[in-house]
Chain A
Amino acid sequence: MTDGLLPLLVAVPVLAAVAPPLLCLRTTGTGWYVAAVACAVEAALAALVVRSVFLGGAVRHVVGGYERPYGIELVVDGLSAPVVALVAVVSLGVLAFAYTAGPRRNSFYSAYLLLVGGLMGVSVTGDLFNMFVFLEITGLATYALVAADRSGRSAVAALKYLILGTTGASLFLIGVGYAFVETGTLNMVDLSERLAGSYGDRAVLASFGFILVGLGLKTAVFPLHTWQPDAYSYAPDTVTTFISALVSTVAAYAVGRIVLTVFTPAFFEAVPAARAAVLAFAAVSILAGSALAAVQTEIKRMLTYSSVSQFGLVIAGFALVTSDAVLGAVVHLVGHGLMKGGLFAAAGVMAARHGARTVGDYARLGYRSPVVAGAVGIFGVALVGIPPSVGFLGKWYIAVGAVRAGAWPIAVVVFLSTLLTLSYVARLLERLYFAEPTEPTDPAVGAGTDADAGAGTGADADSEVGARDPDPVADGGARADSRAPAAVSTGMVAAIVAAAVVVVALGFATAPFEAFLERFLGGVFP
């Protein structure tokens, strides 16, 4: 019964995306409500599908009744179910955040829904070309969202992302082309059957290379990450929260899907160089990303480079192709989405409340915004991998998988990355709580007039719902920070706190993750 819901998972947000521009003819403030209804329906559908996967294993739907290899197949199995759940939950959560934080334009929510549809599509499709189309839909919506700040810099960042993202997707398409030329099918399951035995062929190897580089670019693995820092830093904070939690995550999921389902572990056994190459890419990404994060001073850039490192970790988990490592990669995929989304949301709140955009600006904010700073602390230590948290669980399983696979360099790299992560998280926490209270870090405090009133509600009353300080810090010059949320509501803070609670709670959720992946891993690793 639930297999009929799979097309709806994609169709509901995409169709709903048409509504906000149409409504623009009559009214401009309704986009959020359309998105809220669509995302709620989406969450309910996702819950039904995930429940059915949990109880009965993989759910398949053949679109239009055309069986493979001719038709398109939609599949949710143990690998995609956590991603589907993540997309549904995060899109709902960020929407709650956006209610006060804005942007409030209808067109924004159109792109938002399109992005949800694209992400769902990548997660549920069982067809390679279909995956390309959904990757491009995802990309298209993301480019529009990055540029939603309406500043020149965000437009430049979005264009850079567009050119690189499209190049990456085209490389992916070339790879798909090679696989198609070799086998004559695009269905993932079919492909894996027909590729077996011809792993050494040049066309197959070229296909793997093109697909890997293409998806590596979408995932932002070093040195293909260059679009990401600009895109994340210059996008509005709401958008950064959303795309940091989901877009690269889904691309990394695609890498896992292709490595495990299409090429299968047998490919890696036949071609050890491929595995070594992917692991080398991942290891370099982990170290370079962490090191670059450690030298950043701007919060959003620091978090972006940290993503580069964390996705290196996920890719390494998939490429190790042991059941522990894959479990770890999926856990880390979900966990990183929640942690990084929460951190960017918190960064948005800090920017709106105190105009804080750099690590230095965060001095002693732990006492002025205790709840949000506390959440930052939780996300931070989870990112380092301190139990009990989902961050620990993911890293742990990847490390164990590396050890069991005998890939010692990866185990060492994971360990080193933990230390490097500790270095920048500790710097942030040190600023938040232990900076010397020498000078008034918020210029608004000394600025007099109505700015004082705003800072007063934020600081003196120790209230979590402070008015927004005018922001002379972030962009140099007197222009207000257009990226930051328009205001900070209790609901936004509650959304961040909820994410922090989930991050800790998932630290105990080994059993559900294992239950999801058990059947899937049983199929991949006989």
Chain B
Amino acid sequence: MLESVPPFAPVLVAAVVAAVAPRRIGHAVGLLATAGVAVGSLLVAPGTHLPTALFGFETVLYRVDAFSRLMGVIFGLIGAAAVAYAHASDADARMTAAALGYVATSLGAVFAGDWLTLVFFWELMAVTSTLLVWQYGGAAVRTGFRYAVAHGIGGSLVLGAVVWQYAAAGSFLFEAATGVVGPVAPALMAVGIGVNVGFVGLHTWLPDTYPSPHVAASVFLCVYTTKTGVYAMFRAFPEGHLWIAYMGGAMAVFGAAMALLQEDMRRLLSYHIISQVGYMIAGVGIGTKLAASGAFGHVFNHILYKALLFMSIGVVIYRTGIEDITEVGGLWRVMPVTFVSYLLGAAAISGVPGFNGFVSKGIVIAEAHKSMKTLVIGSKSMPLGGEDLLWWLLIVGGVGTFMSFIKLGYYVFFHGEATIDPDDAEPGQAVPMLAVGGLCLALGLLPGTLFEVLPNTATVAEKYTTYTVPHVAESVALGVAGFAGFFALKGPLARATWIPDVDRLLNPAVFYGGRALVVGVTETFAAVDRAVVAVASAAVDVGRDPGRAAYRVVDRLPGLETAPRADGGRQTIDLRMSMGTSVFLVVAALTLALALLL
């Protein structure tokens, strides 16, 4: 019975119900559906279910193995918590409907049994998440548009890779080949997925979009897109890849460093998604069984504590309406429940022993230390940064994580007296927050329970011991370095917030690049046009101008407008050809065709 209902179906139904039913009922149905998916994912038998033919190809709608099961459990679990939180945060029923649609498409993607189904849901996920952002209106519309463009490009790359994969492997099914094969598909796939997981340089949509919509929408957004990306990355590269591992390390450092410079609360958290996803990508890239399990454990844990952090910071924003950390302070007295949730989340993300982040991050770091001895860039004699480069990257990322969460907590909950007196979290917000926080703590204290849901349980339990002296010492060292670093650099950091991200450069670059392309095309065509005319007149002794050509490139990208022409003329690109030139073109084409054929 469970095998015949793909998990996206009930959630999709719930999305429709939420869109039309009264708010309370809609949220209840959404809660039930997502919680049901979490339970169902645990119980369903492994294997491939619902083989079907999509667009005439052999596909599998519902494939369950240890990896997709884990994604299903955590997606369902956090979906339920987020729906409850949304209900308590006065989210509009349509927002929840869009969010549930987004959850459903993500579930479709992680339970896909072949690349075609995966890419199908992948594209739909881009659409539903864009709707979720747009639904909020206002400034979110513009960021949502940039989000849609980024994901449109990424999705197209993935689609291209999938088609190429089909050509190379002869089937879309995951079983047909080990990951993505062929000469070009892996590169396309890595970059396409890289947009979703926020590769350094391709990440700008993430801190751009996530802070802009409703606080509850942010909770949904921070969970699904990037984690589905990690899952797809694993499917594409089950045996890892050197460059991907190092990209993960770079993301870990870059995300933490950028987060440290932020003063917008949700923007800071968004940069941390990049950093944390970096650990997962590093785990996938290393490619050992243990590293992959660690990466997926980190997916599981990260979803819990990142959602928790977004929820507790969301409560602060919900109650105060302030997004800037310098404008609040001393809130721990007035918002104790929120403060405790934040503390749980921050401890977990920083990897404090006793919390779940410590377990999974530890696996990845340990594997980086162990396995990367055989996986270095360059030769033994001239390794780039040494054998432990990746390990160092992950460690530095860890220090950065400590520092930025100390910063966020310090400014929001301490730092002077509370100048405002907001209420604490609503009970409806507090329950999911504390439940998730408790789970973070429980999984940290009983890592065996976490290992049960992980893929390759036996390997992990056998090869990895969570609480050893070096591991704990490492974490304590990170924490000490983080505290020392933050309080030493507090002053300079507060002044360094002007440092821009690459999007300052990238957005204009895309715009001017696009403009240059359009101008180039127009000019090229104009040149062709002139050449044709010149040839025509030489050939038939008609020296007439084929018509006025006025080229005008107007605003074709969001954000910038060109001034209208002073004389009020219409902005058209006039490429009309006279009848004579047209007939000449026909003759030329005919001559060319006959010359080719005869």
Contact = CB atoms under 8 A, between A and B. Distances in A.
Contact of B556 (A168, A423, A476): A423
A452 interface: no
Interface string B544-562: 0000000011101110010
Given A360-B554, A415-B156, A273 B597 contact: yes
Contacts of B521: 291-292, 294-295
Interface in A262-299: 271, 273-274, 277, 288, 291-292, 294-298
B317 interface: no
B43 to A, nearest CB: 31
Contacts of A476: 570
A291 B575 CA distance: 13
Nearest to A427: B556
A512 interface: no
Contacts of A208: 597
Interface in B50-64: 55-56
A217 B586 contact: yes
A360 B564 CA distance: 10
Given A164-B586, A411-B163, A206 B552 contact: no
Contact of A277 (B159, B554, B593): B593
Interface stretch (B249-257, B381-389, B484-492, B577-585): B577-585
Nearest to B126: A386
B348 to A, nearest CB: 38
Interface in A181-233: 202, 205-206, 208-210, 212-213, 216-217, 223-224, 226-227, 229-230
Contacts of B557: 427
B597 A224 contact: no
A403 B597 contact: no
Contact of B579 (A163, A171, A216, A404): A163
A129 interface: no
A337 B558 CA distance: 30
A160 B593 contact: no
Given A206-B594, A226-B582, A360-B554, A296 B56 contact: no
Nearest to A386: B123
A164 B579 contact: yes
B473 interface: no
Interface of A is mostly: helix
Interface in B525-561: 525, 552-554, 556-558, 561
Contacts of A403: 163-164, 166-167
A73 B29 CA distance: 61
Given A277-B597, A403-B167, A415-B156, A167 B583 contact: yes
A288 B522 CA distance: 11
- Which size bracket describes the interface of B in this complex? 35 or more
B160 interface: yes
A164 B583 contact: yes
B142 A213 contact: no
Contacts of A159: 579
A510 B573 contact: no
B55 A213 contact: no
Q: Is the interface of B mostly helix, strand, loop or mixed?
A: helix
A496 B126 CA distance: 27
Contacts of A296: 572-573
Interface size classification for chain A: 35 or more
A396 interface: yes
B118 to A, nearest CB: 13
Contacts of B160: 415
B438 interface: no
A224 B163 contact: no
Contact of B589 (A213, A230, A324, A514): A213
Contact of B156 (A171, A288, A292, A418): A418
A358 B149 contact: no
Contacts of A418: 156
A208 B525 CA distance: 29
Contact of B585 (A160, A226, A271): A226
B572 A298 contact: yes
Contacts of A510: 55-56
B518 A358 contact: no
A400 interface: yes
Top 8 nearest A-B pairs by Cβ distance?
A: A226-B582, A205-B597, A209-B593, A291-B521, A403-B167, A213-B590, A226-B577, A277-B596
19 contacts: A160-B582, A171-B590, A206-B598, A213-B586, A224-B585, A229-B575, A273-B596, A274-B597, A294-B521, A295-B518, A297-B554, A297-B572, A297-B573, A358-B570, A403-B164, A419-B156, A423-B556, A427-B557, A510-B56
Given A288-B525, A514-B56, 7 more contacts: A209-B597, A223-B589, A224-B589, A277-B596, A295-B521, A415-B160, A434-B558
